[in-house]
């Protein structure tokens, strides 16, 4: 959809303040989701208010047409935000599983070392050798588990999260343009005297 002001002048994203843009690559996924959701909902309130004012000015046919387009854009953004939240939970769950395995191995190593310290001198060399082998295997498994956790996170970010964020950010740009068009319509109607109630 091409966005234009009431007089037909095109609205370009480069000429409009996009409040979301400065946060795209500056924070953790958790903070990103929370902040973008909060800012988006504030933007929705602003659009709702402007559309309500225009509708009350007896321009309900225009608003009826725009409400459908507004809902479609709003729902698309919520859908992307929900996708991101689902991926965030997947990362957290994967990290919890890996950490649980690491904790189990570390506990086993602790118990083996404690047993080795308290063992009498009569302990056979074969048992001591076996314990050292188990300790070494567990340490190797811990290192692998930590590396796997990082690799899983990286993979989810590059293959899943980044593409969803890119789609979300494009949808937010489109939403900002839509918001600017509605705001421009409202201002134009006020200037023409078509709306009596001026409440910016």
Q: Is 64's pLDDT higher than 50?
A: yes
Mean pLDDT computed over every residue of the chain: 85
| pLDDT at 181 exceeding the cut of 70 | yes
Q: What is the pLDDT of residue 153?
A: 76
Q: Select the more confidently predicted residue: 114 or 55.
A: 55
Question: Which own/partner contact pairs does 162-171 have at CB distance under 8 Å and 24+ positions apart?
Answer: 164/80, 164/83, 164/84, 164/87, 165/24, 165/32, 165/84, 167/80, 168/36, 168/77, 168/80, 168/81, 168/84, 169/20, 169/21, 169/24, 171/73, 171/76, 171/77, 171/80
At residue 198, the pLDDT reads 44
pTM for this predicted structure: 0.78
């Amino acid at each position: 959809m091409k966005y234009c002001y009431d007089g037909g002048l095109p609205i370009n994203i480069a000429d409009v303040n996009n409040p979301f843009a400065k946060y795209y690559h500056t924070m953790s996924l958790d903070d990103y989701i929370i902040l973008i959701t909060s800012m988006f909902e504030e933007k929705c309130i602003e659009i709702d208010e402007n559309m309500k004012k225009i509708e009350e000015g007896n321009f309900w046919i225009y608003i009826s047409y725009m409400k459908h387009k507004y809902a479609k854009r709003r729902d698309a953004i919520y859908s992307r935000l929900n996708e991101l939240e689902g991926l965030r939970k997947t990362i957290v769950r994967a990290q919890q599983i890996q950490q649980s395995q690491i904790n189990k191995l570390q506990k086993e190593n602790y118990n083996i070392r404690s047993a080795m310290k308290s063992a009498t001198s009569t302990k056979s060399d074969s048992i001591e050798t076996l314990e050292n082998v188990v300790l070494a295997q567990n340490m190797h498994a811990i290192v692998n588990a930590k590396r796997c956790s990082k690799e899983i996170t990286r993979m989810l970010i590059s293959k899943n999260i980044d593409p969803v964020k890119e789609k979300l950010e494009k949808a937010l740009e489109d939403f900002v343009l839509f918001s600017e068009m509605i705001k421009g319509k409202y201002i134009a109607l006020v200037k023409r005297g078509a709306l009596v109630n001026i409440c910016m």
